[in-house]
Amino acid sequence: MTSPVNDSGDARIAAPLQEVLDAFVVHLRDERGLSDHTVRAYANDVQSLLVHAQRLGVTSVDQLSLSTLRSWLARQQSVGRARTTLARHAAAARAFTAWIQRTGLIAEDPGSRLASPKSHRTLPEVVRADDMVVVLDAAADVAGEGAPVALRNVAIMELLYATGIRVSELTALDLADLNWDRSTVRVFGKGKKERTVPMGKPAQRALEAWISSGRAALIRAGTPSDAVFLGTRGGRLGARAARDVVHQCLAAAPGAPDVGPHGLRHSAATHLLEGGADLRSVQELLGHASLATTQIYTHVSVERLRATYEQAHPRA
């Protein structure tokens, strides 16, 4: 177990608490199917909570109380944690206490009454539709020379923008996930939830060019891979390398924000809504569990409308 990121001093907890924490981590990973990143974050958060509780005299999880949880959150707030981080701390604590109640380790769930600090969401930065045309055309021009990596890169850009999938979902794609006849991609998102998303003709053409002309050049003998996207060494492309591809391609459009892969996801959602797509369809495309998460993109469109109005209307 890694040391918690939210407490200073002695990060060790007593064996009974550590055993429960270890079992909780197994639950998150194997039963809930959360990503490694989320599991690590929740594990660190709960370990931080248990370190704090131990300092208050708690020796077993059945001694956890709402006041303990609140004092832990207050301590995190006092050292300047961001609101989004505090919200995650609260979510991790609630998940932990709900789980220990379900497993019979505690009679009542103290986390059920733990409120999250209200987070003020900032509007995501997006690439304008005309700038995306410049970016994708520039990537296609480079790919026109036939270099395998260039063919791969334009396929990455086209697919991210066409589908709005996460970079982790992109790098996890296997060849069997592509349905050429239906022009769809099978994606396994957060919690290993499966969804099928459509891809446009430009994305499909770019993928076909990469797979038929570029991919074979990167596969090395003895290291077969079912991955759609490969690195230069022939193995599955990693998320960091995919991010580098996006940053490199966005640099081709002067004035376009360097938003990274998640910015392409924001851009795809915003452009869909601006084009008349309904919110529920965009939610399904992005794989959002809550419609509230998708609704932030409506605010992006409203802000753009407001800017256009103020610039163009004589009575603005």
Catalytic annotation present for 299 = no
Cα(53)–Cα(207) distance, integer angstroms = 52
- 203-240 pLDDT, tens digit per residue, is 999 999 999 999 988 887 556 689 999 998 888 999 99
The catalytically annotated residue of 166, 215, 266, 271 is 166
The CA distance from 38 to 192, in Å, is: 13
Give the chain's domains with CATH numbers: 15-113 (1.10.150.130), 129-312 (1.10.443.10)
pLDDT at 277 > cutoff 70: yes
pTM check: above 0.75: no
Angle (deg, nearest 10), helices 239-250 and 129-143: 110
pLDDT digits (tens, 9 = 90+) for 94-153: 999 999 999 999 999 999 999 876 655 565 688 888 899 999 999 999 888 889 999 999
* Active site annotation includes 102: no
Residue of 221, 217, 220 whose CA lies nearest to 209: 217
Whether 265 is catalytic? yes
Give pLDDT tens digits for 51-103.
999 999 999 999 999 999 999 998 888 888 888 888 899 999 999 999 999 99
| Residue 192 among the catalytic residues | no
Question: Catalytic: which of 40, 190, 195, 304?
Answer: 190
The active-site residue, picked from 262, 271, 304, 306, is: 262
Which one is catalytic: 81, 88, 266, 288? 288
88 is catalytic: no
